[in-house]
Structure formats: C-alpha cells, structure tokens
Amino acid sequence: MIELRCHNLNCDSRLQQIDLDFTQANFVHLIGPNGAGKSTLLETLAGIIKPSSGHVILRQQTLESYNLHQLAAMRSMLKQQDSVSFPLTVEELLLFYCNWQYAIPKQIELALEVEQYRHRHLPELSGGEQQRVQLARVLLQIWSVIEQGEGLLLLDEPLKGLDLRHQQKLMSLLKSLSKSGNKVVMSLHDLNWCDGYADQVVLLKQGRLVATGTVQQTLIPQQLSSAFDCLISVQTSLEGKKLLQTVENPS
Ligand SMILES: Nc1ncnc2c1ncn2[C@@H]1O[C@H](COP(=O)(O)OP(=O)(O)OP(=O)(O)O)[C@@H](O)[C@H]1O
C-alpha cells in the first residue's frame, strides 16, 4: 500500500484543517459541491500547490522533501483544464510531455482508444477525444511505475466529457489499476460511480472535510443533502447498488 496522508492541511481559505489518510484505500473518490476544494486538494497532494500550513506525507516522506523530478516519476496528475490550444499532434504531445514514442500499451488503448488520433492535431479533436488523449498522457508519464503497481494517479474530473461507454471503460481501467496496488485519487460529480468502485469517499464543503469513509459511511442522504444544499435521495438498485438522485423541492 502506498502511504499517502495529510495533516492539518491549510491552503488559505481554500482548504482548512484537512486531516486525511489514504494509505489503506487504493481508489479514493473526492466529492462535494463546486468550490468545495477538490481540485485544490488534488493539486496539493501532487505538490503543485504549496499548503500555507500542514503537510502531505507520501511514502514516509513529506512532499517538500522530493524534488520535481522525483515527484514526476512517482505521481501523475490530470488537471481540470488540461487542454492544448497550439497545434501539437497527439504523437508530439506524448513525446514532449512524457517522452513516449512507442505504441500505446494495450491496457490503455482498450480503455481510451487514442491510437487512431496519433497524427491528429489536438485542437481539432472533440472535447471528449482530447480528454481521452490527456488521460493517456497522464498514464504514460508513469506507466513503468504503474505496471509495477506503485503509481499514484491524481485525477481531477477524469470523466468530464467522456461518453457513457468511455466512462465505463475508464472506471474499469482505474479500478483494475487500483487493485494491482496503484493508488488513484479522483474528483467526480456523478456520485453514482462511487458504489462498486470507491474504497474511500471524501466529502468536502467550503474547504472543509465533512465526512470520509466507505460508501456506506459517506453516501448518507441527510449528509449529502446538507453538503450539496439540495434534497438527495438514495435508492438501492436490484443489483444492490446505491443510486442517488436529486429530489425537486416542491415550491
Ligand atoms: N488560483 C486560485 N486562487 C485563489 N482561489 C482559488 C483559486 N482556484 C480556486 N480558488 C477558490 O478555491 C476554492 C476551491 O476551489 P476548487 O477549484 O478547489 O473547488 P472544486 O471543489 O474543485 O470545485 P469544482 O467542483 O467547481 O471543480 C473556491 O472557492 C475557488 O473559488
């Protein structure tokens, strides 16, 4: 298990007194309304944002004790606005950003189906196609480490823009990578993905930790309704999965 913890993490008013331990969970879902601090937490865990106080422990060391080169070899992050406006081809992007000049590994290609875009320019791809390419780039950056089950993936809304089939394929890939020892921490807005996938859910609101634990412990209607400021009901599907939906408030 990759040790990943944060202690009394503060980032101006964006994150306040966050104590979290992700060591025992390999697939972590960060949820919460807009502005809750999900991206800030991911970027702090990646070492992109320096906390104003508190610290992150990755593999028995504080994040500050690693240099950028060491961090880039251990963890990879998908940022929310990872789009490229200059006319790089997919091949050039993978070469420049992660020195990848080979065929896309089968496991990645099966989920993301990006080989077909190899000679296309990024700005000429659709939003979802670009997102799939960026996800491939993030995986390839530390692919040799991921293959050994030792990678840390920090993904800010990786499902954004993906069609249903690619959402399913991506979630299956991430689950399988997490089962082989890699740690995946991702933010998402569709809470229906949590059950069956997340080992640990983190619910944030206004920079503060509201709840963390298993799906059973965190996806509680009252708690969610209060955090999201809307009525949320939880039902159980025939397969026993938790299904969440907002309930319109009669006015
Ligand atoms: N660069 C920045 N400088 C200062 N404040 C910021 C910056 N980026 C975001 N914020 C603020 O920090 C808070 C947390 O933002 P963050 O992007 O982490 O939220 P989020 O949970 O990822 O939201 P969303 O679901 O909308 O992506 C928000 O109040 C936001 O306005």
Closest-lying ligand 1 atom to the alpha carbon of residue 32: 21
Query: What residue owns the CA closest to ligand 1's atom 8?
Result: 40
Structure tokens at 168: 């399913």
251 inside domain: no
pLDDT, the chain, mean: 94
Percentage of the chain beyond pLDDT 90 is: 86
User: Could you tell me which of 228, 211, 214, 207 has the C-alpha nearest to residue 27?
Assistant: 214
User: At 238, which CATH number?
Assistant: 3.40.50.300
Whether the pLDDT of residue 251 is over 60: the answer is no
DSSP assignment of 112-161, as one string?
H--GGGTTSBGGGS-HHHHHHHHHHHHHHHTHHHHHTT--EEEEESTTTT
Closest alpha carbon to 107 in 170, 30, 35, 179: 170
Q: From atom 18 of ligand 1, which residue's Cα is the shortest distance away?
A: 37
> What's the domain count of the chain?
1
Q: Residue 100 C-alpha to ligand 1 middle, in angstroms?
A: 32
Which residue of 10, 39, 189 sits with most ligand 1 atoms within 8 Å of its CB, as the best mutation to test the pocket? 39
Q: Which residue has the higher pLDDT, 65 or 240?
A: 65
C-alpha of residue 232 to centroid of ligand 1, in Å: 23
Residue-level pLDDT at 87: 87
Residue 125 lies in a domain: yes
The range of the structural domain enclosing residue 91 comes to: 4-246
Ligand 1: centre distance to CA 35 (Å)? 5
Cβ neighbours for 199, distance < 8 A, ≥ 6 positions apart: 24, 25, 26, 27, 28, 178, 214
pTM of the model: 0.95
Q: Which residues contact 166 (CB under 8 A, 6 or more apart)?
A: 111, 112, 113, 128, 132
On the question of pLDDT at 70 being above 80, the answer is yes
Please state the length of the chain.
Answer: 251
Give the confidence band of 249 by pLDDT, cuts at 50, 70, 90. low
CA of 246 to the centre of ligand 1 (A): 24
Which residue minimizes the CA distance to atom 12 of ligand 1? 14
Distance (angstroms) between ligand 1 centre and the Cα of 19 equals 19
With respect to residue 117, please indicate whether it lies within any of the assigned structural domains: yes
Q: 193-221, pLDDT tens digit by residue?
A: 999 999 999 999 999 999 999 999 999 99
Mean pLDDT in residue range 69-85 = 88
Residues with CB under 6 A from ligand 1: 14, 32, 34-40
The reply to whether 107 falls in a domain is yes
Query: For 113-126, what is each residue's pLDDT tens digit?
Result: 999 999 999 999 99
Answer whether residue 201 is part of any domain.
Answer: yes
Q: Which two tokens stand for residue 232?
A: 């949320």
pLDDT tens for each residue of 8-62: 999 998 999 999 999 999 999 999 999 999 999 999 999 999 999 999 999 999 9
The ipTM assigned to this model is 0.98
- Where do we find the tokens 């790089």? 88
